[in-house]
Structure 1
C-alpha cells in the first residue's frame, strides 16, 4: 500500500510540474497574456511617460474617444510604455529618454523590440523625451491622426454626435 501511495505522490508531483512548465511555455510563446489585456499593469516609469499618458487619458475622458490607454504592458519578453487598445487595433507608444536610448546598443535593442511588436500586430510609435516635454499635445495628436488615417476608428462628424 505504501508503495502505491509513494508512486501516486511521485506521479502527482511530476505531472503538476509538467503542467506548470506547459502553461508558462505557452504564455511566453503567445507573446501577450490575454488575461491581463484589460487591466492597468503598473504606473508609468518616468515623467515623460506620465505626461503623455495623462494627455492621452484626458482625451479619452473629455472627447469620449473609443480607445483605452494602459501603462507598462507586457508583450513577450518586452514591456510597452503605453498601449492603446481600440476595437480594430493596438498601438504601442515608446517614450525614449536620452539617457536610456542614445547608445548604439540601445538603438539596436529598440529596433529589435519594434520589429517584434509589429510581428505581434502592434502599430509602434516612438517619441523622444524632448518631443514629449516640448509638445505632448502634438505627440498625442500624431497618434490620434494615425488612428483616424488607418480607419482604426472614425472621427465623429457633427451629425454623428
Structure 2
C-alpha cells in the first residue's frame, strides 16, 4: 500500500483545510516534524509546490511561544513585517524583535504576567532594554484577540518609521 511522507501529508492537508486550521497546523509542525524546504520544493521533479502552502509559509509563526504570539506574528507577516520571535537581546528573551529599528514587542497574557515576581522581572527587563536604546511596545493578549488589526498596524507603523529614521 503506497504511503506519503510527512511533508506531502502536510501539503495535502493544507489544500483542503480551512485557513485558520491550516495556519495552526503549519505553525505547530514546520521546522519541528517537517522541514520548510521539503514543503517549498517537493521531491517530485517539475512541481513547484502548493500555492496555499507557499502562502502559509510566508505567514508562518514558527517560533511563537503562545497562541496570542502566534496570531500576532501572522498578523505582522500578512503586513509583510517579519520580526524575530522569542529572540535574545542581551540577557533577555523578547517576544518579537526588530534589530534594525531597535524595537521589541511584548505580548502579555494576564494568567502568566499576574504573578508579582514575573511582573517585577518584566519591569527590570523593560528598563534594561530602554537604557540600551530599545523601544518596547507592550500589548495585552486580550487586545491581540479583540483588536489584532489595530495592534499590528501600530507595530508596523512604528517599526517602519524607526527604520526610515535609523
CA contact (8 A) 2:83 2:98 kept: yes
Q: Which runs of 5+ in 1 are unaligned?
A: 1-41, 61-66, 155-161
Structure with higher Rg: it is: 1
1:59 to 52, 65, 79: 79
The alpha carbon displacement at 1:105 in A equals 2.1
Aligned mates of 2:119, 2:69 — CA distance in 1: 18
| TM-score in terms of structure 2 length | 0.56
CA contact (8 A) 1:68 1:85 kept: no
Count of residues paired in the alignment:
104
- Mark the CA change 1:146 to 1:98 in structure 2 (over 3 Å): closer, same or farther: same
Hey, which bits of structure 1, 4+ residues long, moved more than 4 A?
A: none
Q: How big is the alpha-carbon RMSD for the aligned residues of Structure 1 and Structure 2?
A: 2.0
| Residue number in structure 2 paired with 1:77 | 91
Aligned mates of 1:113, 1:151 — CA distance in 2: 21
Using CA pairs under 8 Å that are at least 6 residues apart, name the structure with larger relative contact order, 1 or 2.
Answer: 1
CA contact (8 A) 2:105 2:138 kept: yes
The alpha carbon displacement at 1:153 in A equals 2.5
Aligned mates of 2:70, 2:82 — CA distance in 1: 15
CA contact (8 A) 1:71 1:81 kept: yes
